[in-house]
Structure 1
């Protein structure tokens, strides 16, 4: 089944580039840049990937991102992910990047964006993988900080097509960022937002009504609100679901309890994505395999999920 699922043409719509930083590359970049790491080796770092919640993961994620210092580092990070896409027949990707993760530690905005953009361009030309970049605001920071990031980004407007919202969800509702999303849309940018991962269905309503998003990232807790499910079906609003991530971060305690196929059969436009694959144990194909093994996903369901991802492209 792996080979069949791997060969299926797919798009990935929920991928954090910083979360694709594999331990082997992390150690190489640390050595290249003279960054001291708290882990002795790759194996000890992998053993640290045991998370009880989103915040525990984020603490490690931001620590790992500290090795990214130069434009070449960001290029190498992005190129490694694109090579994985090529190997898994991901024909289109719309990755996120978090500029505040880097600017807050003194890395100029244009350094990160330059490396990422160059790799995405080479991916289009050399690998045939189409793409569009999404700039994400960190929701645990202030809306004022998001406004500053947007101002930094607008001179490079052609390098990204949308803004998103990620990081710690609980206690940071989408409404906190209503004005900066209004500004982004006034500049012609599309919007997406993480909602309904650890946060309640009310956050999904806010993302739709206040941030005017085109897609909901995660969204699995929509199942708790029948009226919201009706809306998602009626408006065919895509959910970029990340099954292995949901298990690793204890959103569901077992893949057999995941609701993605239930949502699919209800008519919700769910898609399969890897989120932060270096930390959560798999890229897109591995997520499809997990659904087959844990939920008995059929080939017909896999085709629908893959087609949903292609249909839900925004770039």
Structure 2
């Protein structure tokens, strides 16, 4: 978390403030217009079926689906592993720098319509280099589209390289070395893919290398894995944000620590529902975490697969858990505070948020 993040507040004060919000409920349009930062977004997870078929035709890739509709139907998966199997299969259409740029442009245009003003994009280079795609192709394509978005859409952002935790640690180490040829493009490193059985501790050394290069550190933990993985990510990886982290509620001492140290959680409600982490969205712990004083943000994760981009997640929270305008503003403000944007950019975004309220 950057130095400009708001100071710590006790869980009791945060709970009081959260429950004291006004009762007005924002409209769909208001939630789409709400200026916000997206901090948990896998760019490969924005590959819509239509674009997948377009890129497959361009690159001569045979997808194992007869039509766009058949592929769209396959997006109705049952659990994390079935999602990952589909996720990596469709990724085969991404081959050139232009492909990665086009994928990113599609997301950023959609994100702009959903109120995203700053986006920190996860990407999975090992899934591409394993197919023979140079890491420079991946980074330059995504990064070039981000440059365009800053110029044309007013969206700032950067790239967070995620290591696949179910791949050997040596592969992560090689990937970091290769990516450092594009160091200026990278905000940080992260850790994703199947969580159970792959604790953060495995990646302690490669994260230490990344931090020594001045990169920020984040990590997926406490989604399908236990609260103890969150503790490991903090203590051993130096994680400044925790991606998901919803199982932190299983450990009261951890919740107290997250609240005290203002360690943000990048929560993804529709993703948690689709992957059965919280099968009933009405029981999602989002508000409980916020009421405990934890810095919580709302994000979309892999929106093409999980049925909603970021404003869609805000709308689903409003419809299922209840969400006032002041709560929506608080979640958006936390996303700005928890981002790795410069202090000057954060100040700009906070002014936009004040104008939304006004």
TM-score range, shorter chain: over 0.9
Q: Runs of 4+ in structure 1 displaced over 4 angstroms?
A: none
TM-score by length of 1: 0.99
Contact kept? 2:143, 2:158, Cα under 8 Å: no
Question: Following the alignment from structure 2 to structure 1, what is the Cα–Cα distance between the partners of residues 181 and 98?
Answer: 21
Aligned partner (choices 209, 212, 225) of residue 186 of structure 1: 212
What is the Cα deviation at residue 54 of structure 1? 1.1
Which residue in 2 is equivalent to 1:9? Answer: 35
Question: Following the alignment from structure 2 to structure 1, what is the Cα–Cα distance between the partners of residues 29 and 88?
Answer: 34
Which residue in 1 is equivalent to 2:291? Answer: 265
Which residue in 2 is equivalent to 1:155? Answer: 181
TM-score by length of 2: 0.87
Helix, strand or coil at the partner of 1:251: coil
Aligned partner (choices 112, 125, 144) of residue 151 of structure 2: 125
Q: RMSD over aligned Cα, in angstroms?
A: 0.7
Question: Following the alignment from structure 2 to structure 1, what is the Cα–Cα distance between the partners of residues 230 and 98?
Answer: 37
Aligned partner (choices 101, 114, 117) of residue 127 of structure 2: 101
Which residue in 1 is equivalent to 2:241? Answer: 215
What is the Cα deviation at residue 45 of structure 1? 1.1
What is the Cα deviation at residue 50 of structure 1? 2.3
Question: Following the alignment from structure 2 to structure 1, what is the Cα–Cα distance between the partners of residues 129 and 331?
Answer: 36
What is the Cα deviation at residue 51 of structure 1? 2.4
Higher relative contact order (CA 8 A, sep 6+): 2
What is the Cα deviation at residue 268 of structure 1? 0.7
Q: Which structure 1 residue ranges, 5 or more long, are not aligned? A: none
Helix, strand or coil at the partner of 1:132: strand
Contact kept? 1:261, 1:297, Cα under 8 Å: no
Which residue in 2 is equivalent to 1:25? Answer: 51
Question: Following the alignment from structure 1 to structure 2, what is the Cα–Cα distance between the partners of residues 303 and 118?
Answer: 31
**1:75 is the counterpart of 2:101:** yes
Helix, strand or coil at the partner of 2:272: helix
Helix, strand or coil at the partner of 1:161: strand
Contact kept? 1:264, 1:270, Cα under 8 Å: yes
Question: Following the alignment from structure 2 to structure 1, what is the Cα–Cα distance between the partners of residues 340 and 213?
Answer: 16
Aligned length in residues = 315
**1:234 is the counterpart of 2:260:** yes
Question: Following the alignment from structure 1 to structure 2, what is the Cα–Cα distance between the partners of residues 111 and 186?
Answer: 25
Helix, strand or coil at the partner of 2:242: strand
Contact kept? 1:93, 1:131, Cα under 8 Å: yes
Contact kept? 2:166, 2:193, Cα under 8 Å: yes
Which residue in 1 is equivalent to 2:229? Answer: 203
